[in-house]
């Protein structure tokens, strides 16, 4: 970190930031959580007191400086209280995805050497109980909810650990704040295990400096005034994007975090909380875009035409104002009229206060991004990895290019290898992989971190991610194809929800598709199709023909080697529970291939040449889900 940037960042650590802000923003709301039908709020001073109590309890429980402590929980107030308490007690937090199985959690706990584990509730505790013999080193479990544990794995509550009935005494506060003052910017803040899209998870070591400077740089790019509102938190805090941007940066900027009850109640919680900003992954915007267009096609012709005219005007407006930075004049007035008639009503469905989203984790389709800007809720698309804390590029209100992930953030530097792989240097880059010197060495070349992504950078410095280097498809004919842009285009079709494209070393491309079930059921009613279940509907010949026609439209403007020759239609969506998606909704390509290998290979038993005009489906409905 340069001396100039060190002066700009007034904190050596995240706990020190909280100590400063607890005084600076004492009465300002810090965190809110749902309980008993309503939201309970802790202000900055109350939140800080809870942090100190947790740190006190951990040191009394025997936790030593440098100990790793696991947090096995979905998003909630307990997560952030535990995380901050661990840091204030000089520990290192190790997040575990709430969707992980007991075996997966055991791997992270064992590899990190965690002796203490925080769990959210009984369901997570029971996962650990089921693998108790695999985690013999775990000495203590603390839960955010009260329940009785088993003798071989005792459990206590966070309240008991914190001794919530005994306020922090001045001497105790002084001792903990002396610990906080001793934290150096080079100390580890966390070990985050990658979500495992490419094999066994690796523990990414991030320092206090990595995450603090990344949060600070994000605030500068987004604008300090943007960070003082309410952020609704629903992405996993175990993922570095939500943790840095939706947690550390929000509290650093004096903002307020409201926790969604769970991912299935996000829409309901948005209307309750009326957030000003959110962090998300592309899947949410894909669903928003799809749902709005589903509703529009049900309107009468006059209202449909009004909507499409508003979108056309909005497209001109956002490009003139935010991309070309031109005078908008009458175009601005026209947009205001459409905003009052159309877009304001759409925004009201999101609480009416949303100013922006930050999006990362996977590429966001350009059309969907433009749509969000048009309706008045801009999405700032960024880019990063767990290994980079995460953001190393980000768009903003004043510097934005649709289709790009923005310009370099902070002191980040970029370089491209001959094959287009993006290399990075900067303050956000990790220390290395925990207990894995070989993987650490392989991740760097001449001091530059290898992102594994193929990219190009334009003359203005905007970065465009093409695809993952390992996911580039090389066909039997030697053609290099990036699957993600094609998959994103497929998902824009009103009948398609998710798409996976396969074809590495093969003579042609095939796709696995999951339908937009609402639209598909509607189609079934229109065509008077008799079916007993979704499996029957997906297996229907008229439905197969429908998707063959949709794929033919998709193929129309593509080079022959990019076209989909055959496809599989599934009667369910990809999911984290099914093993096809990571907790941040990225495709786990190896798992998808492994699950559907037999069906995929059947599609290559006969040469696909000459089938461009009519893509073929060889699926059999019920079998596709197995």
pLDDT tens figures, 280-289: 989 899 989 9
Mean pLDDT, rounded, for 84-102: 96
Spatial neighbors of 556 by CB under 8 A, at least 6 apart, are: none
Q: In angstroms, rounded to a whole number, what is the distance separating the alpha carbons of residues 453 and 423? A: 9
* DSSP 8-state symbol, 169: P
3-state class (DSSP) for residue 141: strand
Query: What does the block give as tokens for 271?
Result: 């209307």
Report yes or no: 482 and 472 within 8 Å, Cβ to Cβ.
yes
Neighbouring-strand partners of residue 383 = 393
3-state class (DSSP) for residue 114: coil
Q: In angstroms, rounded to a whole number, what is the distance separating the alpha carbons of residues 381 and 362? A: 10
Strands 29-35 and 155-157 come out as: unpaired
Residues listed for the chain: 626
* Three-point CA angle 511, 517, 523, nearest 5°: 100
Q: What is the arrangement of strands in the sheet containing 564-569, beginning at the earlier edge strand?
A: 496-502, 509-515, 564-569, 616-617
3-state class (DSSP) for residue 207: strand
Confidence of residue 619 (pLDDT cuts 50, 70, 90): low
pLDDT at 312: 98
Span of 2-6, 31-35, 281-285, 521-525 with lowest mean pLDDT: 2-6
Confidence of residue 227 (pLDDT cuts 50, 70, 90): confident
Helix segments in 461-615, DSSP class H: 483-490, 517-526, 534-539, 541-555, 589-595, 597-602
Q: In angstroms, rounded to a whole number, what is the distance separating the alpha carbons of residues 107 and 113? A: 10
3-state class (DSSP) for residue 199: coil
Say whether pLDDT at 609 is over 90: no
Q: In angstroms, rounded to a whole number, what is the distance separating the alpha carbons of residues 169 and 175? A: 10
pLDDT at 262: 87
3-state class (DSSP) for residue 17: helix
pLDDT at 625: 31
Query: What does the block give as tokens for 138?
Result: 């775990």
3-state class (DSSP) for residue 343: helix
Q: What are phi and psi of 510, to 5 degrees?
A: -125, 165
pLDDT at 198: 54
Q: In angstroms, rounded to a whole number, what is the distance separating the alpha carbons of residues 567 and 611? A: 12
pLDDT at 412: 97
Q: What are phi and psi of 189, to 5 degrees?
A: -100, -30
pLDDT at 577: 87
Q: In angstroms, rounded to a whole number, what is the distance separating the alpha carbons of residues 256 and 262? A: 18
3-state class (DSSP) for residue 432: strand
Q: Which domains does the chain have, with CATH numbers?
A: 3-207 (3.40.50.12780), 279-352+355-470 (3.40.50.12780), 472-625 (3.30.300.30)
Identify the H or E element spanning 217: helix 208-222
Neighbouring-strand partners of residue 498 = 514
pLDDT at 7: 44
- The residue ranking higher by pLDDT, 89 or 621, is 89
- 154-163 contacts at long range (C-beta below 8 A, 24 or more positions apart): 155/119, 155/125, 158/54, 158/78, 158/81, 158/82, 158/118, 161/54, 161/57, 161/58, 161/61, 162/50, 162/53, 162/54, 162/56, 162/57, 162/85, 163/53, 163/56, 163/57
Cα dihedral sign, 601-605-611-614: negative
3-state class (DSSP) for residue 58: helix
Report yes or no: 408 and 392 within 8 Å, Cβ to Cβ.
yes
Query: What does the block give as tokens for 572?
Result: 């369910």
Structure confidence by residue, pLDDT tens digits, 356-407: 999 998 889 999 999 999 999 999 999 999 999 999 999 999 999 999 999 9
pLDDT at 584: 76
Query: What does the block give as tokens for 160?
Result: 């008991």
Confidence of residue 6 (pLDDT cuts 50, 70, 90): very low
Quick one: how far is CA 91 from the chain centroid?
26
Span of 160-164, 192-196, 274-278, 593-597 with lowest mean pLDDT: 192-196
Spatial neighbors of 361 by CB under 8 A, at least 6 apart, are: 239, 241, 281, 282, 584, 585, 586
Angle between helix axes 14-24 and 44-60 (nearest 10 degrees) is 140
Other C-beta atoms closer than 10 Å to the C-beta of 117 total 27
Q: In angstroms, rounded to a whole number, what is the distance separating the alpha carbons of residues 253 and 26? A: 13
């Amino acid at each position: 970190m340069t001396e100039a940037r060190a002066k700009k960042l007034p904190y050596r650590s995240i706990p020190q930031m909280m100590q400063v802000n607890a005084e600076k923003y004492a009465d300002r709301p810090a965190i809110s959580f749902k309980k008993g039908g309503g939201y309970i709020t802790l202000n900055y001073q109350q939140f800080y007191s809870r942090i100190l109590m947790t740190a006190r309890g951990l040191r009394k429980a025997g936790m030593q400086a440098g100990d790793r402590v696991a947090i096995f929980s979905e998003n909630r107030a307990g997560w952030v209280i535990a995380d901050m308490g661990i840091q204030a007690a000089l520990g290192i937090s190790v997040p575990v995805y709430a969707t992980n199985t007991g075996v997966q959690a055991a791997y992270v706990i064992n590899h990190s050497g965690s002796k203490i584990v925080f769990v959210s509730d009984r369901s997570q505790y029971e996962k650990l109980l089921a693998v108790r013999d695999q985690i013999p080193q775990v000495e203590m479990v603390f839960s955010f909810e009260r329940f009785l544990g088993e003798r071989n794995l005792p459990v206590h509550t966070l309240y008991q650990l914190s001794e919530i009935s005994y306020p922090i005494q001045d001497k105790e506060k002084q001792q903990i704040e002396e610990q906080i003052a001793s934290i150096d910017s080079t100390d580890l803040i966390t070990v985050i295990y990658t979500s495992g899209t490419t094999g066994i998870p690796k523990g990414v070591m991030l320092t206090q400096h990595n995450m603090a400077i990344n949060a600070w740089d994000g605030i500068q790019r987004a604008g300090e005034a943007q960070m003082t509102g309410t952020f609704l938190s629903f992405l996993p805090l175990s993922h570095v994007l939500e943790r840095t941007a939706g947690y550390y940066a929000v509290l650093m900027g004096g903002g307020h975090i409201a926790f969604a009850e769970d991912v299935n109640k996000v829409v309901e919680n948005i209307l309750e909380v009326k957030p000003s900003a959110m962090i998300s992954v592309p899947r949410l915007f894909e669903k928003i875009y799809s749902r709005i267009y589903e509703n529009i096609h049900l309107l009468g012709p006059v209202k449909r035409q009004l909507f499409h005219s508003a979108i056309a005007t909005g497209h001109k407006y956002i490009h003139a104002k935010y991309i070309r930075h031109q005078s908008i004049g009458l175009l601005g007035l026209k947009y205001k009229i459409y905003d009052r008639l159309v877009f304001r009503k759409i925004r009201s469905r999101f609480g009416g206060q949303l100013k922006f989203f930050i999006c990362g984790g996977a590429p966001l389709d350009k059309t969907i991004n433009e749509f969000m800007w048009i309706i008045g809720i801009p999405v700032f698309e960024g880019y990063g990895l767990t290994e980079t804390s995460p953001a190393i590029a980000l768009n903003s209100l004043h510097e934005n290019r649709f289709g790009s992930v923005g310009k370099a953030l902070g002191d980040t530097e970029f370089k491209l290898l001959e094959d287009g792989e993006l290399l990075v240097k900067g303050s956000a880059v990790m220390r290395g992989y925990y207990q894995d010197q070989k993987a650490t060495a392989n991740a760097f070349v001449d001091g530059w971190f290898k992102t594994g992504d193929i990219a190009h950078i334009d003359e203005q410095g905007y970065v465009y991610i093409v695809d993952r280097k390992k996911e580039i498809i090389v066909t039997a004919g030697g053609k290099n194809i990036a699957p993600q842009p094609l998959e994103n285009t497929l998902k824009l079709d009103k009948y398609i929800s998710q798409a996976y494209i396969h074809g590495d070393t093969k003579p042609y491309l095939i796709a696995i598709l999951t339908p937009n079930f609402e639209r598909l059921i509607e189609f079934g009613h229109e065509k008077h199709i008799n079916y007993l279940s979704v499996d029957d509907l997906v297996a229907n010949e008229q439905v197969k023909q429908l998707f063959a026609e949709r794929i033919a439209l998709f193929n129309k403007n593509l080079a022959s080697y990019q076209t989909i020759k055959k496809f599989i239609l599934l009667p369910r969506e990809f999911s984290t529970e099914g093993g096809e998606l990571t907790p941040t909704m990225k495709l786990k390509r190896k798992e998808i291939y492994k699950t559907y290998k037999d069906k995929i290979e059947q599609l290559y038993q006969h040469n696909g040449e000459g089938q461009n005009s009519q893509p073929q489906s060889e699926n059999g409905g019920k079998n596709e889900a197995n």
